[in-house]
Structure 1
Amino acid sequence: MTQATLARPYARAAFAVAREQSALPAWSQALAFAARVAADPQVGVLLGDPRLTAEAAVSLLVPESAPQNFDGLLQLLFENHRLALLPEISGLYDALRFEAEQIVKARITSAEALPAAEIETLKAALRRRFGRAVEVDTDVDPALIGGVLIDAGEVVIDGSLRGRLARLHDALVH
């Protein structure tokens, strides 16, 4: 079984509880926190220790501002030896959340850090293109040389200088 197959029921259950509580963003943040902690190699060793109690594991993974019943999900994951699935559960949960809230999740990668005004301009253009709210993460990759690369799931817009050079190279070779 793939990790996505194992994680999907937990993500759906978390989504159902979060929607019932009208706390979709809070659950998203709590899952992201727990996933980051669980993905840390040192924490992974600790979580795999058979002497670790459920209470200790939950207290390690639950953020201070966790929504109601979040610790119950962590307890269930601990009991079923599925804490390692937290990053996958978080990603699947966010996909369900973004679909329900009609949000497009995009990653904007640029050669150097972009000013906030430029990010807002790009978000506005993406909102017009998709007809939905847009939530962006930004990243810096100097290998792009210049411009931006926007990854919005099924749509990738490569406006980077590296991408333009690659397309020019392909055109000259063919």
Structure 2
Amino acid sequence: MSLEITLARPYARAAFGIARDADAFAAWSDALAFAARVAADPQVRPLLGNPGLTDDAAVALVAPDDAQADVRDFLGLLAENGRLVLLPEVAGLYEDLRAEAEHVVRATVTSASALPDGELQAIRDALKRRFGREVQVETAVDEALIGGAVISAGDVVIDGSLRGKLARLQSALSQ
């Protein structure tokens, strides 16, 4: 996984630079997200490594129909270098760069059950105060947490889950 991230990083930076210069962050986000979903598809992934698939055909396979010329050129570069399989990593790193440039923190709130909108808004407001930036919140449900939530924003992880509390209690009792 770390090798894929290392290989994807320069491509994500290049895509970010092109998008910044064209003032087209949203269009690039949409195009890369689409291409990443296609490239990650279990039926498509083996095709991307097939030597019989031309670069143009590979680009046509992963590019959205309404993709701008510079996006198609970028995907062509990835195809030429045999890196289309890195699209999920490239898209993720691009989104991190975009969030940093737009002064937005991306946070994931994983809870034992779906959270009501009021609670999500309270979490978003608290994170906004903590980071001093706008916060984009994604949600996930993991019933194994038993109760509470785990909030992950960049390098910060706040574990308020019942499972986490029980694990800390067990650790404290065993020492």
TM range (shorter): over 0.9
Residue 157 of structure 2: SS of its match in structure 1?
Answer: strand
- Name the counterpart of 1:157: 158
Shift of 1:67: 4.3
Q: What runs of 5+ residues in structure 1 fail to find an aligned partner?
A: none
- Name the counterpart of 1:5: 6
- Name the counterpart of 2:44: 43
Aligned residues: 174
- Name the counterpart of 2:60: 59
- Residues 1:78 and 2:79 are matched in the alignment: yes
For 2:9 and 2:167, the matched residues in 1 are separated by 38
The 5 Å alignment of 1:95-106 reads 95-106=96-107
For 1:40 and 1:112, the matched residues in 2 are separated by 28
Please tell me the root mean square deviation across aligned C-alpha atoms, in Å: 1.6
For 1:129 and 1:34, the matched residues in 2 are separated by 34
Q: What runs of 5+ residues in structure 2 fail to find an aligned partner?
A: none
TM-score, structure 2 normalization: 0.92
For 1:123 and 1:60, the matched residues in 2 are separated by 38
Identical-residue share of aligned pairs (%)? 61
The 5 Å alignment of 1:98-117 reads 98-117=99-118
8 Å Cα contact 1:57/1:78 also seen in 2: yes
For 1:100 and 1:117, the matched residues in 2 are separated by 28
TM-score, structure 1 normalization: 0.92
